[in-house]
Amino acid sequence: MRPSRAALTLAAIFTLGACADFSGIGPQGAALAPATLGLQAPAPLALSASDFDSQWWRSFGDKGLDALVTQALQGSPSLQVAAARVARAQALTEVLGAADGLQSSAAVDLSRQRFSSQGMYPPPLAGGIYETANLQLNLGYEWDFFGKNRAALDAAIGQNQAAIAELQQARLLLSTQVTRIYFALLRLQAQKALQQSFLAQREQAQAIGRARRDAGLDSQLEFLSGPITLPEIRQQIEALQEQIAVTRNSLAALCAVAPSALVMPEARIEAVRKAPVQESLPLDLLGRRPDIVAARWRIEAATSDMAQTKAQFYPNISIGGFVGLNSVGWSNITRSGSEQWGAGPALRLPVFDSGRLRAQLRGKAADLDGAIAAYNGLVFEAVREVNEQLISLRSIAQQQREQQTAQVNAQSLLQIAQQRHKAGLLAQSAVINAQNALVAHQRQAIDLQARALDVQAQLLRALGGGYSAPTSVAQATP
């Protein structure tokens, strides 16, 4: 049995198609093996807002902080930009998802034209001017035998999911900034209140010293040579007030309001509770960091993008058809005999393209290598951040224990100095020195408490905003 002409033609086309070869082109990098760092490697998840602890700052139990972060998240222009990227990526996914279905379009053409006397039309059309009408429905369907359309859709899904994760990362970074600046503001306010209390004590002591000088019990030199003078304390209070104003300005900018419109609740740093932090945290939680999730999706998208480019080396098979009405003369469009239709398959296959497809594939392989390298870098950075914050938290806890002991001792020394001064056994300067030492310890206590809260906020950010265990979510589908 002799092969048909059509079969021979197809065989020749596929033989020539072997010239379009993608062998030897592929990514050079490999994603970091999570087991080497004690991490799990969950499959990319279909994301929603519930996949992250979107209100992680509430673990500090401060209503003022909650109000400020909520205000910042609602009005931030940067979040609006990130949300727009998500909407755009979702729209692209929907566009590519429609490529697998039956495509149809309708056309209505009405025109007036002169037909050439030397063309294909016989008299009386030849050389005449007539109206033409065409009413047509076009249909088309492409078989995705080699997965080109599916790969393109998978790449778009990956980009969409990466955009969702990046929006969550932007929310996390903004809420962390607000939280840290809020704690810094509470620290400054506590330091200012401490200095104002110290100023009141020194003013009282100065009044007593003036009375002793006037009574001839102390000299002018002793009266003026205190360890810290009142102008120095007032200067420190003014410096703290400046820092408070600057910090409020930064907080207002993050909340997208004018500084005068920023509502700051009355709060004390001592009232902020510490977030529940374990002594050791399972590092597999890093797999739920929004930026790492986004990086994993970038790898998935780049892999699908490369698969879509490979599929372009294979034939493209489709079928098309049309049905409609066509006539010369607008009034003839509805007459019998004006019907027209047609249908047939189509095959497209790259044969010789001067290396264009191979160059495109090499570019996609480079994109995949870049996505893998970015993911690996983020994992290393995440592990470093978490370990550093845990080290700092343990050190701060030890420092606080030592500081509390030292502060208790300083308080005892002040009480002894005051008692001996009342008994006339100790000069006023010794009491002042004891007060200065106690205030220094109190300032240090405020600083350590603020730093502990700040490090806890950074740890929560480094872990993606919370401690909730990963949930199993199916692979994203359109």
Q: Is residue 13 part of a domain?
A: no
- Residue 24: predicted pLDDT: 64
Work out the average pLDDT over 297-305: 91
For residue 402, give the H/E element and its range. Answer: helix 356-422
Work out the average pLDDT over 446-452: 94
Q: Would you say residue 3 has pLDDT above 80?
A: no
Rg from Cα positions in the chain: 38
Q: Is residue 10 part of a domain?
A: no
The DSSP annotation for 75-126 comes to H-HHHHHHHHHHHHHHHHHHHHHGGGS-EEEEEEEEEEEEPPTTSSPPTTTT
Mean pLDDT, the chain, rounded, equals 79
- Residue 21: predicted pLDDT: 64
Tokens of 477: 């589908």
> CB count, 10 Å around CB of 391?
11
- Cα-based distances in Å from 412 to 112, 231, 240: 107, 28, 28
Q: Residue 1, class by beta-carbon neighbours within 10 Å (0-12 exposed, 13-18 middle, 19+ buried)?
A: exposed
- Residue 40: predicted pLDDT: 52
Work out the average pLDDT over 424-440: 81
- Residue 470: predicted pLDDT: 36
15-29, 120-134, 138-152, range with the lowest pLDDT: 15-29
CA 461 to chain centre: 11
Contact 170, 79 (CB under 8 A): yes
**Measured between alpha carbons, how far is 414 from 439 in angstroms, rounded to an integer?**
11
- Residue 283: predicted pLDDT: 60
Tokens of 36: 């080497």
Please name the residues in contact with 136: beta carbons below 8 A apart, sequence gap of 6 or more.
106, 107, 108, 109, 322, 323, 324, 325, 326, 340
CA 183 to chain centre: 22
Q: Is residue 124 part of a domain?
A: yes
CA-based nearest residue to 19, from 457, 349, 418: 349
- Residue 19: predicted pLDDT: 46
| Domain assignment of residue 410, given as a range | 28-462
**What are 333-387's pLDDT values in tens digits?**
878 888 888 888 877 777 666 678 888 888 888 889 999 999 999 888 988 898 8
**What are 206-224's pLDDT values in tens digits?**
776 666 666 665 555 555 5
Between residues 169 and 204, the one the model is more confident about:
169
Q: What angle do CA 269, 274, 276 make, to 5 degrees?
A: 165
Q: Is residue 12 part of a domain?
A: no
Q: Would you say residue 321 has pLDDT above 90?
A: no
The residue type of 304 is S
Work out the average pLDDT over 9-16: 52
Laid out side by side, the sheet with 316-328 consists of 103-114, 129-143, 316-328, 339-348
pTM score, whole prediction:
0.76
Q: Is residue 323 part of a domain?
A: yes
CA 446 to chain centre: 32
Between residues 39 and 89, the one the model is more confident about:
89
- Residue 20: predicted pLDDT: 55
Between residues 40 and 324, the one the model is more confident about:
324
Between residues 421 and 43, the one the model is more confident about:
421
Q: What angle do CA 265, 270, 276 make, to 5 degrees?
A: 100
CA 453 to chain centre: 23
Q: Is residue 472 part of a domain?
A: no
CA-based nearest residue to 355, from 292, 402, 313: 313
Contact 104, 137 (CB under 8 A): yes
Q: Would you say residue 281 has pLDDT above 60?
A: no
Instruction: Name the range with the highest mean pLDDT among 33-37, 164-168, 266-270, 278-282.
Output: 164-168
- Residue 91: predicted pLDDT: 84
CA-based nearest residue to 189, from 456, 449, 458, 461: 449
47-56, 111-120, 209-218, 411-420, range with the lowest pLDDT: 47-56
Q: Is residue 14 part of a domain?
A: no
Contact 350, 313 (CB under 8 A): yes
Q: Is residue 5 part of a domain?
A: no
Work out the average pLDDT over 393-412: 93
CA-based nearest residue to 291, from 456, 452, 178, 176: 176
- Residue 41: predicted pLDDT: 52
Residue 195: CATH number of its domain: 1.20.1600.10
**Measured between alpha carbons, how far is 203 from 233 in angstroms, rounded to an integer?**
10
Domain count, the chain: 1
CA-based nearest residue to 150, from 97, 101, 104: 97
In this structure, what are the phi and psi dihedrals at residue 346, rounded to the nearest 5 degrees? -140, 145
Per-residue DSSP letter, 14: H
Work out the average pLDDT over 131-135: 85
Tokens of 73: 């998240």
